[in-house]
Structure 1
Amino acid sequence: MDFDFTDDQEQLRDAVRKWVDKGYGFERRRGIVKEGGFSRAAYGELAELGLTGLYIGEDDGGLGMGPVEGMVVMEELGRGIVLEPLAQALIAGGVLSGYAPQALKAAWLPGIAGGEKLVVLAWQERKARYRLDVCEAQATQVQAGWTLNAIKSIVPAGDQADAFLVPATVGGKIALFLVERGAAGVATRGYGTQDGSRAAELSLKDAPASLVTLDGLAALEHAVDIGIAAACAEAVGVLDKTLAITVEYMNQRKQFGVTIASFQALRHRVADMKMQLELARSMSYYASLKLNAPADERRRALARAKYQLGNSMRFVGQQAVQLHGGIGVTDEYIVSHYFKKLTQLEMTFGDTLHHLGEVSQRMQDTAGVFA
């Protein structure tokens, strides 16, 4: 099997890497955190590169690319621990392109592709514990369309978004809706998250909504799987940079007159970190390659990938902090911010224990990855 990237994919990687290196340094990131964890200017720069339209067709102003290109981009953003939620643009573009009626596509996809509109997935509820089929939000059909009553938690950049994709129950089944942030009955309460980015609590009280699809659970599962694949790829970038920072530190830090990189026991720990990175990388590839597979196969694959990435993130993050010593948890030193990002990504779209349960429930006669 050929795992080489095409010339176009390598050029895309190079463009994003150059932007991260030159336009999104640690000091700029620190400034964005102080300002609240989200920058419209930085998000606009991602849009100028075409990244917000990655999963949107050319007819709607996007690039019409696929999961592998998405993986390449998210890896590079992970290396720079970029705060702006590009994964949400991938989710919105993919879901609206695949499930929304034509009028809704025409109204929103060009704006998402151009970066003028930020549409985010608002799916988490307090009692759901990552389960997608648990939904207390209620939708009611009225003469003018639909209204929603819901409370959704940890909505990425929720108080900065232009609209939300919201699952809600209709007649005992889950449907998916689009709600504009400026609509009547919509309230948000923003706050900073552990990694410095921004999220919000979303409250809807008889808020007007546009129906995306009545087959909401299928659309929601697809949306979350796009998010998982993006999180896995982003995590690979974070892991790669975390390891590089740790190795650089070990080649500089001295004890007993020699660099600590010369200590055999510590070299073994770095080798274990490298192994976990490569396990994570291979499962991220697997997740992206399975993103367009039939739903059952896709769901099994993404759960397996997220489980392995969760283990790798926890191991590499903890080892990096321990190998640095006390400086590894200080705000002034960059590795602590990579550790926070890994900790948050491990819980994004379902933590490791949740996905272990998903893998177990979906296991067939053979437990092989490619079964």
Structure 2
Amino acid sequence: MDFDFSDDQEQLRDAVRKWVDRSYTFERRRAITGAGGFDRAAYGELAELGLAGLYVAEDQGGMAMGPVEAMVVLEELGRGIVLEPLKHTLVTSGVLGAYAPEDVRSAWLPKIASGEALVVLAHQERKGRYRLDVCEAQATPAGAQGWKVSGEKSIVPAGDQADAFLVPAKANGKIALFLVERQAQGVSTRGYPTLEGGRAAELTLRDAPATLVSEEGLTVLEHAVDIGIACTCAEAVGAIDKTMQLTAEYLNTRKQFGVTLSTFQALRHRMADMKMQQELARSMSYYASLKLNAPPEERRRAMARAKYQLGVSMRFVGQNSVQLHGGIGVTDEYAGSHYFRKLTQLELEFGDTLHHLGEVSARMQDTAGVFA
């Protein structure tokens, strides 16, 4: 099996890495965090690179690329702990491109690809935890082929800044998926900062006008979350890589008893253990991206396995990095603490480690332990 990246993929990686290094510095990120956790200008710069249209077809103004290219991009954005929710754009554009009616695709995908519109998934409810089949939001018919949606959704990424939402709601006793514009009547949001410095919101819908995307809402929602898991795994790999780099640099410069910390054998062993978790995370991120277009049941098993391993690796690398740094590892002025926060939050996104351990267990078959 060939795990080498193509020339086009390497050029894409190089372009994103250069943008992160030159334009999304740690100082700019701190300024964005202080201003609320989302910068439309920074998101526009990502769109100018073509990244918002990564999953959008060429005739809709996109790049028509796939999961591996998305993985390459998200790794580099993870290295820079970029706050702007590009992965959520990939989730929604992937879902709209695959399941939405033609008129919905034509109306929204070009705007998503250009960065004019930010559309995010709003699926979490307070009683649902990570279960996708728990949905109390309700949709009722309204006029000729129109709908109205009522309900509440939590932790919506950049929810008070987005232009529209993909919202699952029950219609005729079955979960369907709808598109709701933020400026529509009956829509209200309450924004707040997140752990790692980004932005989320509580979304309230009261008979909000909605457009039907798919009547098979649960099937589409599962696919959307799986795209999100694969993107989160790739983003985590980038953050882990940078965390390892910062930790190694610190151990090679900080002195104790007149010698650098990197000369202590016990600390070198800790770094070796962290390196092992880093490579396990990378291999399972590759696995997730390569399985993203597999049949639904196989895809769901793969995402649960990948997210579980990434959760273990994120926690291990993040916590050990803080311990090896000592007190400076948790100070706001030091970049390492922000990577630790990012890894902590990513471990919870789209299902935490214990949730996905349960998913792996529930989906075990006679070939348990052998990845097909």
Q: Structure 1 counterpart of 2:18, which letter? A: K
Correspondence 1:53-202 to 2 at 5 A: 53-144=53-144, 145-202=146-203
1:294 aligns with 2:295: yes
1:303 aligns with 2:304: yes
Please give the secondary structure, in 2, of the residue aligned with 1:273.
helix
Q: Structure 2 counterpart of 1:257, which letter? A: G
CA distance in 2, matches of 1:284, 1:344: 17
Task: Give the structure 2 partner of residue 318 of structure 1.
Answer: 319
1:275 aligns with 2:279: no
Please give the secondary structure, in 2, of the residue aligned with 1:56.
coil
CA distance in 2, matches of 1:268, 1:226: 35
Task: Give the structure 1 partner of residue 213 of structure 2.
Answer: 212
Q: Structure 1 counterpart of 2:176, which letter? A: A
Task: Give the structure 2 partner of residue 52 of structure 1.
Answer: 52
Task: Give the structure 2 partner of residue 9 of structure 1.
Answer: 9
- Residues 68 and 289 of structure 1 are in contact (CA less than 8 Å); yes or no, is this contact kept in structure 2? yes
Relative to structure 2, which stretch is displaced further, 96-105 or 135-144?
135-144
CA distance in 1, matches of 2:142, 2:23: 48
How many angstroms does 1:193 deviate by? 0.2
Please give the per-residue CA displacement for 1:3-30, whole angstroms capped at 9, x wherever unaligned. 0000000000000000000000000000
Q: Structure 1 counterpart of 2:179, which letter? A: L
CA distance in 1, matches of 2:249, 2:113: 38
Correspondence 1:357-368 to 2 at 5 A: 357-368=358-369
Please give the per-residue CA displacement for 1:165-184, whole angstroms capped at 9, x wherever unaligned. 00001122110000000000
CA distance in 2, matches of 1:208, 1:201: 18
**Unmatched 5+ residue regions in structure 2?**
none
| RMSD, aligned α-carbons | 0.6
Task: Give the structure 2 partner of residue 32 of structure 1.
Answer: 32
CA distance in 2, matches of 1:57, 1:168: 27
Task: Give the structure 1 partner of residue 342 of structure 2.
Answer: 341
How many angstroms does 1:370 deviate by? 2.1
CA distance in 1, matches of 2:370, 2:221: 24
Runs of 4+ displaced beyond 4 Å: none
Q: Structure 1 counterpart of 2:211, which letter? A: S
Q: Structure 1 counterpart of 2:19, which letter? A: W
Q: Structure 1 counterpart of 2:191, which letter? A: G
How many angstroms does 1:369 deviate by? 4.4
Please give the per-residue CA displacement for 1:67-121, whole angstroms capped at 9, x wherever unaligned. 0000000000000000000001101110000000000000000000000000000
**Identity between Structure 1 and Structure 2 (%):** 76
CA distance in 1, matches of 2:193, 2:330: 19
- Residues 301 and 369 of structure 1 are in contact (CA less than 8 Å); yes or no, is this contact kept in structure 2? no
Relative to the length of structure 1, the TM-score reads 0.99
How many angstroms does 1:368 deviate by? 2.9
- Residues 184 and 208 of structure 1 are in contact (CA less than 8 Å); yes or no, is this contact kept in structure 2? yes
How many angstroms does 1:143 deviate by? 1.2
